[in-house]
Amino acid sequence: MKRKIIIFFLLAFSVIHHTQAQDAHYWQSGFSPGGFLMPGAVIANNRDSGVFFYNPALLALNPKSGISISANIYQYEHLNMKAGIGAHNPLKSTRLRIVPQIVSGSIALKKKKTIAIGYALIHNAVLGYQATQRQDKKMDVLDNSYSPGQEFYVGQYAAHNHINQTIAVLSAGIKLNERLAVGISAEGQVRSQDYFEDYRSRALINDGNDIGLPPLTSVSTAYQVVYTHIGMRFKGGLSYEAGKHHFGLLVSSPLISLKGFATLTSDIAVANLHLVNNTPSLNLLANDRQTQLPVKYHLPFSIAGAYTLDYGRGQLYLAAEYFHKVNSYNIITPRAESFIRPDTGSANSFTKDLLRFRDEHRSLTNFALGISYYVNSHLTAMASFRTDFTYSVKEPENYDGHLPYVVTWDNYHCQLGGNFRRKKANLRAGILLSYGSTNKYKQPVNFDNPNEANLMLGDPTYGKASFFSTGLLLSYIHNL
């Protein structure tokens, strides 16, 4: 009987503990098909001063040797989940950072004016989320049949999610004729993530004894994954010129997993929880730590197209990229080790499902619009707007395991700036703005209404959440 109660608890826990924890987006980086302001972040020719291009075919249009350094200076990010763990307990995360984003260069082959080689090292600080919150008050938490009246209650929550990505790229572009150029890129990617979530829900039992310390009902969980993944993908590009009309096409392969290693730790402790009527109180300890776990991380096939129109003293740029879906898979699959203490045999058959770190992407298409205006021979003004839709699946197929996200809503990015040209150098500066919000952010826990029926975790509801970011982009391009 007790084993059945434990299994029921773990299954119910896996349903409730389903955390929708710029981490679930493809275009969060400025160096993307819709970056525009960042040197080379285009698919179709826009007469960019950059030396390295997202579409490798553009390297061959005007082969040159040069280097470029771009950084986001003093970038400010703010995440706010207004009803984080309760109506008056928001989850907030703020950070100020300096991000050296891309160092790149190109080499024009002297004997062949139609061939260029490009290289780049790109760093994306994808997400830096950290938040804590607490509920401390007298509440009617436990059933009055054994704990009448309000109890002293404390609920505490802490989480962080840090994701970084470093990409090394080698590209080659060849100009086939005056109108057509092709190119290919090979990318090596290193992605690291530190995901952590911990919450504790506790109430003192009113046993009618005023002497000594009263008994305690407690539910606490902790889960952390730290991993590094190495992968590779390839891109093939095409550029076509037709007078004032410029076209570009880019096809990206899925990410190929090469190597990965992870450490996973988890702890669940339950004391004196009356889970089912007329049954003994539940006490449970589950704990595990696993190292050197293999890691898989998937990025889908995508295809991007762009069009640039020359008009008067400027250009208009349009781009879109389609991303195929990624079916549900495990980033980290734990080993089938003992988790519940003492080892209860069949109950530990749920270890993999409870502790797995999983992912799933829906298909989507992002869009971008850019515009430039030639003020004079030394200054070009630039502006752009791009969508950054989330690939987070709204209704996952399975509710067990842990998801790697925090921001699961659509974001939008705007860039305003200009390019200052000199004989052998270009300086580009601009303001970056990002914003997104939702009314359907699901709480990880709700400490406004904890009780035995919801495992002392409350009944999570949906509320408002928002993401805001602003920063200064600074790029320097030097032609050799």
pLDDT digits (tens, 9 = 90+) for 92-125: 999 887 777 888 888 888 666 789 999 999 988 8
- Decide if 320 contacts 304 (C-beta within 8 A): yes
Q: Which pair of tokens denotes residue 1?
A: 């009987």
Question: Residue 20 has what pLDDT?
Answer: 46
Q: Report the C-alpha gap between 437 and 79 in whole angstroms.
A: 10
Instruction: Decide if pLDDT at 59 tops 50.
Output: yes
Question: Residue 208 has what pLDDT?
Answer: 78
Selection from 13, 21, 15 nearest residue 399 by Cα: 15
Instruction: Decide if pLDDT at 270 tops 80.
Output: yes
pLDDT digits (tens, 9 = 90+) for 300-312: 999 999 999 999 8
Domains in the chain, start-ordered, CATH in brackets?
2-479 (2.40.160.60)
- 349: Cα separation from own chain's centroid: 30
Question: Residue 255 has what pLDDT?
Answer: 96
Q: What is this structure's pTM?
A: 0.91
Mean pLDDT of the chain: 88
- Decide if 56 contacts 171 (C-beta within 8 A): yes
Instruction: Decide if pLDDT at 366 tops 70.
Output: yes
- 460: Cα separation from own chain's centroid: 22
The mean pLDDT of 224-248, rounded to a whole number, is 96
The mean pLDDT of 326-343, rounded to a whole number, is 88
Q: Where are the alpha helices (DSSP H) in 313-432?
A: 351-355
Question: Residue 344 has what pLDDT?
Answer: 60
- 449: Cα separation from own chain's centroid: 30
pLDDT digits (tens, 9 = 90+) for 23-49: 789 998 888 999 898 888 999 999 888
